Structure 1
Amino acid sequence: MIDFFFWLTPWERLWWAPPLFLAAAVVYARGAGERPPGAWRQGLFWAGLALMWFGLQSGLDYFSEHAFFVHRLQHLILHHVAPMLIALAVPLQTMGWTPPRFVRALNHPVVAPVLFSALIIFWLIPPVHVAAMLDARLYAIMNVSIALNGVMFWASVLNASRRPLTRMLMALAVAPTQIALGLLLMSANSDLYPVYALCGRATGLDALTDQRLGGLILWLPGVMMSLLAVLIVLLRLLCGAASPTAARRESSDGSPEPCPR
């Protein structure tokens, strides 16, 4: 039986992860002391940072190497859930950091959805995926690239300085790729990723069931995150229309307050 501490122990230790996460926490805490973003935003940031750590440096990593559907859950956390929580906390304003020009270029409304979808496709190409699962360095690059891209994309979608329609279209633009890939994985009649059999499956699922469940996770929760982002943008738009003060605040710093109750 796996004990609780298993989930707190990194399976694949990344030597740079503890200092990087610690630096992010210190810089954010210092910025929050000087430019308080609100308690709820701070809560979102810490929750997102904790989830990001869990996705990268916990016992979950063991199961993601031994079950395809758990691997998809790991990437759902790293590419969708944790980045969206961090983006909602508007950490750049709190930290007082302006992204460099190349980052802003990657967050162009056309480029960002293409890059987001391309990364999903690339790491699911069977030969690429198998190579990443068998090479520790490539495996780390895969997970880190997914996590960084997720933060960049959802920060761009939830950035109030852009037109709401543009942001909603960006969120919806990544859904078709996830639907198509999810349906492809669910309808495949052969094991596309035999690496999980090679490493040894950690669950009692057979290869096709594992693969189809992974496709379902890629399809439904991934698309639901896009719809959630659209809902958030719409709610902010309605709040801005109902409260001129909130609208002015949004246009000035890109971080509107919640609707007044």
Structure 2
Amino acid sequence: MAAITARASDASRTPRVDGDLKLVGLILLAGALEAILVERYPGSLPLWMPYEFSWGVFLSRAIGIVLYLRGLRRLPVATGANGWRKAAFLIGVGLIYASMQTWLDYAAQHMFFIHRLQHLFLHHTGPFLIALSNPDEAIWEGLPAGVRKKLQHRALVRIMGALQQPILASFLFVALIYIWPIPSIHFWAMLDPTLYTAMNWSVTIDGILFWSLILDPRPKPVARISYGTRFIAVIVVMFPQILLGACVVFAGRDIYPVYNICGRILPISGLQDQTYAGMILWIPSTMMSIIGALLVLNFMRLNEESEVLANRGLQ
């Protein structure tokens, strides 16, 4: 009887394993095709195609979308994401992809204010929309069982807990905003491809971790931290960004000569470029914090209302 049960279990798992292998094969084939097109026809491709192909960006985008959509199909309809949450996830992933792979990435290497737009998308808007879509459950459900088990390893859980501890998470969020624009560091980051890649990936990963912590609609202890702590964290990180943006706007001289070396692609002076970049550091990032704080307050309100309704139902 046990042998029959085991064979039945193996038979039920085989189609899913075969499907996963086929899906991986299709993703790799699509990536290889895109890489060949970028290498052979770089000047003939549309602007939304990669400027320089990256397997890391391609796979993270493709696998993330596939896991999310597959997880949604497996979840009960009542717990699945509604239309606007799906759109938020896909737009967020699309903004990160566009910032790293399309000709926006090329422009960001030649204009400081476009570079700041790129990091606004990578560190703020893209991760913000992904976190707002609340995709954790769907992506988790979309993962193969073996991968889920490995991700539950005690060491990984502790690392994630440390990175999303509110004080450290807020510090890292601000630190990355400050470190990469330091003129001496920024100079080498824009000229060294490895450092440039590390810069873009670091702000993206940190943005996803921070905004996922802030925009979790659930109350503590299901969420890592309370609504009040989230509200304080998202407000605290706003003021250093205002200060940095103001310093760049009112610097009075061009402190980013690396763009003279790279060659600006728009007919504006270095000081104008720097002023526009400082305003992007200052205003949109501040607005993102304000929107985040308002959403946290709304999550708290909705949770209190649901608790009141639940208590009335028990009476």
User: TM-score scaled by structure 1?
Assistant: 0.89
Consecutive unaligned residues in structure 2, runs of 5 or more = 1-42, 141-147
Match of 2:176 in 1: 119
Contact 1:181 1:219 in 2 (8 A): yes
Identity of aligned residues (%): 38
CA displacement 1:169-193 (0-9 Å, x = unmatched)? 1111111111111011011122111
Is 1:10 matched up with 2:73? no
- Is the partner of 2:165 in helix, strand or coil? coil
Write the distance in 1 (CA, Å) between the matches of 2:307 and 2:170.
Answer: 31
Tell me the amino acid that sits aligned with residue 234 of structure 1.
L
Give matches, 1:205-216, under 5 Å: 205-216=268-279
Tell me the CA shift for residue 217 of structure 1.
Answer: 0.4
Write the distance in 1 (CA, Å) between the matches of 2:284 and 2:94.
Answer: 20
Tell me the CA shift for residue 6 of structure 1.
Answer: 4.0
More contact order relative to length (CA 8 Å, sep ≥ 6) = 1
Write the distance in 2 (CA, Å) between the matches of 1:230 and 1:247.
Answer: 26
Match of 2:204 in 1: 147
Contact 1:6 1:58 in 2 (8 A): no
Match of 1:253 in 2: none
Give matches, 1:243-258, under 5 Å: 243-244=306-307
Tell me the CA shift for residue 21 of structure 1.
Answer: 1.4
Tell me the amino acid that sits aligned with residue 56 of structure 2.
W
Contact 2:64 2:139 in 1 (8 A): no
In the superposition, relative to structure 1, how do residues 183 and 21 fare at CA in structure 2: closer, same or farther (>3 Å)?
same
Is 1:179 matched up with 2:242? yes
CA displacement 1:101-137 (0-9 Å, x = unmatched)? 2122111011001000001111011111010100111
Larger mean CA deviation between 235-244 and 103-112 belongs to 235-244
- Is the partner of 1:110 in helix, strand or coil? helix
Q: Which runs of 4+ in 1 moved over 6 A?
A: 245-248
Match of 2:136 in 1: 92
Counterpart selection for 1:242 from 299, 305, 308 = 305
Write the distance in 1 (CA, Å) between the matches of 2:270 and 2:229.
Answer: 40
Match of 1:27 in 2: 67
Write the distance in 2 (CA, Å) between the matches of 1:151 and 1:245.
Answer: 32
In the superposition, relative to structure 1, how do residues 4 and 117 fare at CA in structure 2: closer, same or farther (>3 Å)?
farther
Match of 1:258 in 2: none
Match of 1:133 in 2: 190
Tell me the CA shift for residue 9 of structure 1.
Answer: 2.3
In the superposition, relative to structure 1, how do residues 34 and 199 fare at CA in structure 2: closer, same or farther (>3 Å)?
same
In the superposition, relative to structure 1, how do residues 34 and 130 fare at CA in structure 2: closer, same or farther (>3 Å)?
same
Between the two proteins, the alignment pairs up a number of residues equal to 246
Write the distance in 1 (CA, Å) between the matches of 2:53 and 2:133.
Answer: 28
Tell me the CA shift for residue 246 of structure 1.
Answer: 8.4
Match of 1:79 in 2: 123
Tell me the CA shift for residue 245 of structure 1.
Answer: 7.9
- Is the partner of 1:182 in helix, strand or coil? helix
CA displacement 1:204-240 (0-9 Å, x = unmatched)? 1101111011001000100100000001111122222
Write the distance in 2 (CA, Å) between the matches of 1:27 and 1:83.
Answer: 17
- Is the partner of 1:9 in helix, strand or coil? coil
Tell me the amino acid that sits aligned with residue 181 of structure 2.
L
Give matches, 1:156-167, under 5 Å: 156-159=213-216, 160=218, 161=223, 162-167=225-230
In the superposition, relative to structure 1, how do residues 246 and 139 fare at CA in structure 2: closer, same or farther (>3 Å)?
farther
Structure whose CA Rg is larger: 2
Contact 1:240 1:247 in 2 (8 A): no
Match of 2:33 in 1: none
Write the distance in 1 (CA, Å) between the matches of 2:158 and 2:91.
Answer: 28
Write the distance in 1 (CA, Å) between the matches of 2:253 and 2:48.
Answer: 35
Contact 1:65 1:71 in 2 (8 A): yes
Tell me the CA shift for residue 38 of structure 1.
Answer: 2.6
Write the distance in 1 (CA, Å) between the matches of 2:58 and 2:158.
Answer: 27
